[in-house]
Chain A
């Protein structure tokens, strides 16, 4: 035991020293040694696929490789062993979006529920939450949702959220680390014009976090939340989810890009880095198979020129991506192939 603790401490010190040594240098060098991977969606060969790459963007691997099924929105279980995602099958308003799960290496894929959107893992990895579709006809818009359900992986049992009947037009939900709250955006629903909410996971309490923007994402350590404060800004701030009235503290990090949209923020497993989708304004290209016309940041919309970047989450102040250097951020993808919806995870142990 003593040896193990010592080893762990030594590793922590080494990592800390390495990090400090790299500060001021090429930011990508900080990413290379991390024991993480990043999953994301990309549009290649007229199909949406889920890829996994190293944390510096190297070695992208297509995990899905299906020619007629369009996979999106990868979400990795807290232990890094499984990935859930949604897949679109069919065309136009007849498209059916479903919830799937597979092993982290892409094997053993299984469809769980049809007409399901925007899944999210419970902190113990035993349950996948998801949002229902508002009406049977397919629409690409992100807030086209009604109700919330929990799928228990061991039994296949589906349980509605206790307040499910009142949950409408939510999108991008995620559990807090303690499992008490689900943060989500709402647009034109539940009496809200537009808001980021903390929804009691096992009750009916709903708290407006009173921060502007959308798509909140809890840090894995449970202490912070990052979100898109506008089309061109990502913010991060402390959040208290232990109390009965979750509240967001002062904004600490601010990433901005006046020339591009920046969206879909996600935290690295150690809560020290953020990945972000970045690309030009647009409304898709309806001629591309399996895509829809809407804002480029919306899942299923072809987004030419969109790539993934990483920034340090432990930086105070603003990172302006139009003036930032390689020391401040790193490009993870460069092919512009509608790279969106990244999800960090800890690399599984090698057998």
Chain B
């Protein structure tokens, strides 16, 4: 994908016009497959994403807001009904959080596979992931989103710090303007984009080795599944708000949180972009053994803040 310069992106952000996201990608991405709805044709298709590097040196991608079709009427019952959702623009980590990123904020790494600092962390409890978000926010002088003195660590979505993506944000990023089960087309190409059960050899792999999606985000379909902020409810889509849905309220005890994206142990079907999982948070386990649970961070960013961030070195 040819990335706009930061300058161009800011022009877009300031209302100079929306450009249809190109299928004319380069680097590791390939052209838009015929099976996928061209992003330009999708209603409310977003302007071009922008790559940036945070103060602590982490690569992220700014995704301008837009409207997309969330869920599927042809998947599992909990994926239905497919429904229109508008999402406000946000930045998302280009890669899953790795060992070297996790250790940088002085958290004990609970992962099973620690043989490469570039591998994603796993066996991460939901609250561990949120703690990482807060620590990274503090490290970069941002306002932490999570109030650690509240049950479930209530999220302040107005804060400019890091947090877990909402389920809607995650799917918006993964779909990258398409409506097909896989952003890149059909399951036969999954090997090019994901480490999953058929090719992962029952272990995680260093992030960024497979192709990125057309918005430049890696490993959304495999390697480790990713925590989202939302409480999981199989019937939520029937009542979900149309703008920036945040998931149902927490029932308190024994809550399951949404986990999205395939992992090293997922089937191709589980790697579909609309596939949903509800996962126990692991917060009451001294040792959490679910070795496919990872995450990546998002944050809201103003045009002014985005302008100050550096583009990645080429």
Residues of A within 8 A of B (CB): 92, 134-137, 139, 141-144, 169, 187-188, 193-194, 214, 231, 281-283, 286-287, 293-298
What separation, in Å, do the CA atoms of A136 and B108 have in the docked complex? 12
What separation, in Å, do the CA atoms of A169 and B111 have in the docked complex? 11
Minimum CB–CB distance for B124 against chain A, Å: 11
Chain B contacts for A214, CB-based, 8 A: 286-287
What separation, in Å, do the CA atoms of A283 and B112 have in the docked complex? 23
Chain A contacts for B112, CB-based, 8 A: 188, 193
Partner of A295 from the list B106, B110, B148, B284 (CB cut-off 8 Å) is B284
Chain A facing B: main interface SS: loop
Chain B facing A: main interface SS: loop
Q: Assess whether A137 is in contact with B289, with CB atoms less than 8 Å apart.
A: no
Minimum CB–CB distance for A166 against chain B, Å: 14
Chain A contacts for B143, CB-based, 8 A: none
Taking the complex as formed, is B150 at the interface, i.e. its CB lies under 8 A from any CB of chain A? yes
Known: A135-B106, A188-B111, A188-B112. A294 touches B150 (CB 8 A): no
What separation, in Å, do the CA atoms of A281 and B112 have in the docked complex? 24
* Chain A residue with the shortest CB-CB distance to B282: A295
Chain A contacts for B283, CB-based, 8 A: 283, 293-295
Minimum CB–CB distance for A156 against chain B, Å: 29
Taking the complex as formed, is B11 at the interface, i.e. its CB lies under 8 A from any CB of chain A? no
Partner of A139 from the list B107, B149, B150 (CB cut-off 8 Å) is B107
Taking the complex as formed, is B313 at the interface, i.e. its CB lies under 8 A from any CB of chain A? no
Minimum CB–CB distance for B229 against chain A, Å: 17
* Chain A residue with the shortest CB-CB distance to B150: A286
Q: A135-B106, A188-B109, A214-B286 are in contact. List 5 more A-B contacts (CB 8 A).
A: A134-B108, A144-B108, A231-B286, A286-B148, A294-B283
Q: Assess whether B286 is in contact with A142, with CB atoms less than 8 Å apart.
A: yes
Minimum CB–CB distance for A171 against chain B, Å: 9
What separation, in Å, do the CA atoms of A193 and B114 have in the docked complex? 10
Q: Assess whether B127 is in contact with A139, with CB atoms less than 8 Å apart.
A: no
Chain B contacts for A287, CB-based, 8 A: 149
Q: Assess whether A286 is in contact with B284, with CB atoms less than 8 Å apart.
A: no
Tell me which of A136, A143, A193 has the highest count of chain B C-beta atoms within 10 A of its own C-beta: A193
Taking the complex as formed, is B123 at the interface, i.e. its CB lies under 8 A from any CB of chain A? yes
Chain A contacts for B150, CB-based, 8 A: 286
Minimum CB–CB distance for A108 against chain B, Å: 34
Q: Assess whether B149 is in contact with A286, with CB atoms less than 8 Å apart.
A: yes
Minimum CB–CB distance for B136 against chain A, Å: 13
